Each structure stands twice: as C-alpha cells, then as structure tokens.
A = this chain, B = another copy of it.
Amino acid sequence: MKEIAGGVCAPRGFRAGGIRAGIKASSPKRDLALVCSEKPCTSAAMFTANRVRAASVLVSRERLAGGNCRAVIANSGNANACTGEAGLAAARRMADLAAEKLAIAPGEAAVASTGVIGVPLPIAVIEAGMDRLVRSLRGDKAGHDAALEGIMTTDTRKKEISLEIEIRGVPVRLGAMVKGSGMIHPNMATMLCFITTDAAVSGPLLDRALRHGVKRSFNRLTVDGDTSTNDMVLVMANGEAGNPPIDAGGVEFEAFQKALESLCVYLARAMARDGEGAGKLLNVAVRGAADEAAAEALAKSVAASNLVKAACFGADANWGRVLCALGYAGVPFDPNAVEVRFAGRRGSLLVCRRGAAVPFSEDEAKGILSEEEVWILVDLGGGDGNGTPPDPLNLGSGEAVAWGCDLTYDYVRINGDYRS
C-alpha cells in the first residue's frame, strides 16, 4: 500500500470540480462541488443515525438503493435540513440537475449538503451555476482541490488521501476527500466523505468493506458529541483498474478492505485533528476489554468526555477523569485493575496502576500532554502495557482506538456564533 497524489481524481476515470455559486453569500470560497465517474459504478453509502435527516440524506438514501451511484453533487453553506417539503423538492432538483447535465440516470446521482440548519436552500443559485460547475470538472488534483473547497465549512485544513495497492499484480487506486470539523460524534458526524476507486468490486462487497471501514474509523470519532443531520459516506467503484473483479471474500477482498479501512482511519484522525477549535489530536486506546465492542464503548467514552478534553487542552495530567469516563461508559470492568498511561512522541508515562495513583513527574506529563498528538493508553487487565500506542490497523481482540480533540476557548467561540 503506498500513498499517491490526486485525491478523488487519483483513481482512473474520475473527475471533480467546484465553483463559487453564491450559496455562502459572505464568503469568497467555493460552495458547490461535483465528483463523477466517466463509466458506470458500483456504489455503497452510509448515512447519519440521527432521526432528523437533511433533505439531501432522504433523497440520496432513496436514489442510491440500486448501488449504481457514479456522481455526487454537494454544497456547503446550507444543510438543507429542517426545511420541510420545499427542502425535499430542492434536494431532488439538485440531484436531477446533476444527472441531467452528466446525462446519467437519476439513480446514479447522489446529493449532499452541509452548513446551517433550517434555512431554505437557494436552489435557483445552484441551478444558475450548473453549467459552470460541469465545465469545472477535471481529471487531476486541481479538480479534486476545487471540489474539496466546495464542501468545506468550518474546516481549517484540506482532509484528503489517495492510495495505491496491488490486486493480483494490478495497480488499484483509492482516493477520498472529507469535510467535518464540528457536530461530530460516533455514528458519523457533520461529515461528508466521498471515496472513489478504480477497483472492480461488486456492490455487496463494496458495501461490506465500507461498513467495516466506517465502524473502525468515523464511528470512533468524536469532536463534540453532536451527531449531525447530514452525514454521508459514499464510495464509488468504476472498475477502470482492470483487476479481476472482486466478487467474493478472499485475499483480494481483504487487501481492498484493508486499504479502504486505512483510508477511513487516516481521514477520521485528520477530522479529529481539525475538530472545531482543536489544538491537538487525542487518541484513546483501550486494551484488555471483553471484546472489541466493549473496548470501543470505553475508548469513545473517554474521547468524548468534556472534562478529559478540557484537561487535554490545559495539558493537565488529570487521569482521574479518564477513570471517571470509563466508569460511565455502560460497560462492566474492574476499576481496581485499570492501568493508564499518557503517551506521545517523547515516550510514555504511567500515571495510574490498579485503579490508583502512582508517583509521576508532573513536568514530564505536561510535556507529553502539550504535544500536538496525545495518546491515552488504558489497559483494563492491569497488564504488561509497554506504553507503545497500538497500530489502529492491527488491533488485537478486546482492543479499540477512538479519536477526539481538546475542548478549547475556540470551540466555544466558533459555536457561540456560528450563524452570523
């Protein structure tokens, strides 16, 4: 597996583009994006678990049921959520416009939106921009960049990746872009993630690989505990790589699934690092749990704790808050067997053994917690943890890693006045 350039345009046969249509009236940034494949695709998608769903989510869920999506049109600056019948009509029109301009079937075009909730989507503005949007399509990194800018809101960094693997000697590529910064919590986020691949892979196996990847990545991510109304992860596979089609489990499928998981984990970490107001990336690893689900629940509980996040902001080695957050995760464990370490580039520091304090250097702890990437390592078995953070792509049984960020003044500032 190697990293390559190009984003969603790295896989053969994909184009992307983006323009400033004028949805974000006050911003000079692009706000409308299109990603599409020249050839038909198999596709898989996952949507928010929130019961309040944006119109784009309702429309895309319905239209993508056939698993043949090959294009997605997306806007930022307006979530088109809580907008009633008019919002649904606007989302349908937006998807129809993309399908018409690209001369594909309605069931081949997805629609996605992100931004403020409860404001009518200015569909006329989008319609007026459609020709420009289609003309902006390019098969290179510049096309990817323009599309990615078009879906960003409070994001401060471009979050993207592209990879190449070999399947039976044939180079196969995957590319992705993601937006997401606040309103992010396990079971997806205010995140839109578009993944392209030139692998030939059947719809059911694409779906299986996506569910696995999302479970191990985006669903272990939390910025603020708020599950958005607009989440969507879409993967489109056009088969242009020419690999022997993957239509059953086996080493080829495993290799593809691992690449997709790796891509998702990379993007989940990138989103945590770019969480609203975040100053640092918080990794929480739990080992020694009864099973993976228990480890996941415990790790997520710690990563989501406002008190842990605030302590992380202050570089305060308040490990008691870690124990506290483990305790309300709803998972049985023995508090008297827990071991906690803080770890970073400069090494690791044991701060709690058998559920109680051990002497440690506050200066050393402050140093570790001041790094840009902090690990909290929890061993429920009072085990032999050597303080080395686990590889999230090679976890043992009863292990899981969750991601979050610190809670900062900037988070409050950004969200105290988002609409203005």
Contacts and interface: CB of A to CB of B under 8 A. Distances in A.
A59 interface: no
B420 A305 contact: no
A153 to B, nearest CB: 13
Contacts of A412: 310, 313, 407-409, 411-412
Contacts of A119: 357
Interface stretch (A95-103, A224-232, A253-261): A224-232
Contacts of A313: 412, 416
Nearest to A229: B324
B50 A327 contact: yes
Contacts of A332: 51
Interface string A385-415: 0000000000000000000000111011111
B416 A84 contact: no
A185 B306 CA distance: 11
B417 A314 contact: yes
Given A83-B356, A84-B356, A310 B411 contact: yes
Given A51-B327, A51-B333, A226 B307 contact: yes
Nearest to A49: B328
B226 A321 contact: yes
Contacts of A354: 84
Q: Is the interface of A mostly helix, strand, loop or mixed?
A: loop
Nearest to A79: B320
A118 interface: yes
Which of A49, A83, A320 has the most chain B CB within a 10 Å cutoff? A320
B226 A324 contact: yes
Contact of A306 (B87, B306, B320): B306
Contact of A310 (B116, B357, B416): B416
A81 interface: yes
B320 A226 contact: no
B319 A356 contact: no
A122 to B, nearest CB: 14
Given A310-B411, A319-B118, A228 B84 contact: no
Contacts of A327: 50-53, 227, 229
Interface in A64-104: 79, 81-84, 86-87
A335 B320 CA distance: 39
Nearest to A331: B51
Contact of A224 (B53, B307, B411, B420): B307
Which of A310, A311, A323 has the most chain B CB within a 10 Å cutoff? A310
Given A310-B416, A335-B51, A117 B320 contact: yes
Contact of A356 (B87, B116, B314, B352): B87
A370 interface: no
A120 interface: yes
B307 A415 contact: yes
8 contacts: A53-B335, A226-B324, A229-B323, A307-B415, A313-B416, A407-B415, A408-B412, A409-B413
Q: Which 10 A-B pairs have the closest CB atoms?
A: A117-B320, A314-B416, A52-B327, A310-B415, A84-B356, A50-B327, A118-B320, A227-B328, A51-B327, A314-B417
Given A120-B357, A183-B324, A316-B420, 4 more contacts: A52-B323, A53-B327, A86-B356, A226-B324
